[in-house]
Amino acid sequence: MKTKWNLMCLAFIMLTSFVQVQAQQARVRQSPKQTVTGKVGNATITITYGSPSAKGRKIWGDLVPFGKVWRAGANEATQIETDADLLVEGKKLPAGKFTIYTIPNESQWQIIFNSQVGQWGIERSGETTRNPEKDVLVVSVKPLPANTSQESLVYTITENGISLLWEALVIPINIK
């Protein structure tokens, strides 16, 4: 009888564990992971990012504060990979994998390419995981008004470079 009871308890524990694992896997991320790949000149560029939604919130200057480092997406820090050297806003970025951070402001943004990759985007304190000593390249770009409002953050890659689009802004980054 004791063996039967032990087997029933073991079966219950295994079933409960299985159900919990299935529930965790079925849980959908609030900011789904996205990947975009494209060509700029001879380079193949891939950007992997978490795509948050506005959900009626004011994004720029509020959810994403001006003047503070932002992970350029949600969840894990946004990552860019290129298989060839690039000229980003006229400055050389070597081939490799980088984290993209930004410092948004109303009239100008800093785009930061950092050699540390694979980290979560923010610390428990709410600050980004950026280590400035690992910055490889920092460029300045001007935000532009978008033709239409974009509910979820999207990166695009065209022959002229990459763009970050969200809410009512486009952040173009010229690449050759």
DSSP 93-130: E-SEEEEEEEE--SS-EEEEEES--S-BSB-TTS-B--
Distances (CA, A) of 14 to 7, 20, 21, 23, 142: 10, 10, 11, 14, 55
What are the tens digits of pLDDT across the range 106-164?
A: 999 999 999 999 998 888 888 888 999 999 999 999 999 999 999 999 999 999 999 99
Residue 144 lies in a domain: yes
Cβ-count burial 166-175 (b if 16+ within 10 Å, e if not): bbbbbbbbeb
- Average pLDDT of the chain, as a whole number: 90
Q: Is residue 15 part of a domain?
A: no
Instruction: Evaluate whether residue 17 is within a structural domain.
Output: no
pLDDT digit string, tens, across residues 68-91: 999 999 999 999 999 999 999 999
Alpha-carbon torsion 56, 37, 134, 122, what sign? Answer: positive
Residue 125 falls inside a structural domain: yes
**153 CB-side CA count, 13 A:** 26
* DSSP count for the chain of H helices, then E strands: 1, 10
**Assigned domain for 21 exists:** no
Average pLDDT over residues 12-32: 62
pLDDT in the model for residue 126:
81
The answer on pLDDT for 21 being more than 60 is no
**Cα distance between residue 42 and residue 28, in whole Å:** 36
Q: Is residue 89 part of a domain?
A: yes
H or E stretch covering 20: helix 2-26
Which of 50, 40, 39 is CA-nearest to residue 88? 40
Q: What is the pLDDT of residue 121?
A: 84
38 occurs within a structural domain: yes
- pLDDT confidence of residue 17: 55
**Domain carrying residue 50:** 30-174
87 CB neighbour count, 10 Å cutoff:
15
Q: Check: CB of residue 78 under 8 Å from CB of residue 117.
A: no
**Which SS3 state, helix, strand or coil, does residue 29 take?**
coil
Domain count, the chain: 1
- Contact assessment for residue 73 and residue 153, using Cβ atoms and an 8 Å cutoff: yes
pTM: 0.83
- Say how far apart CA 161 and CA 144 lie, in whole Å: 15
In a domain, 50, yes or no: yes
Q: Phi and psi of 31, rounded to 5°?
A: -120, 90
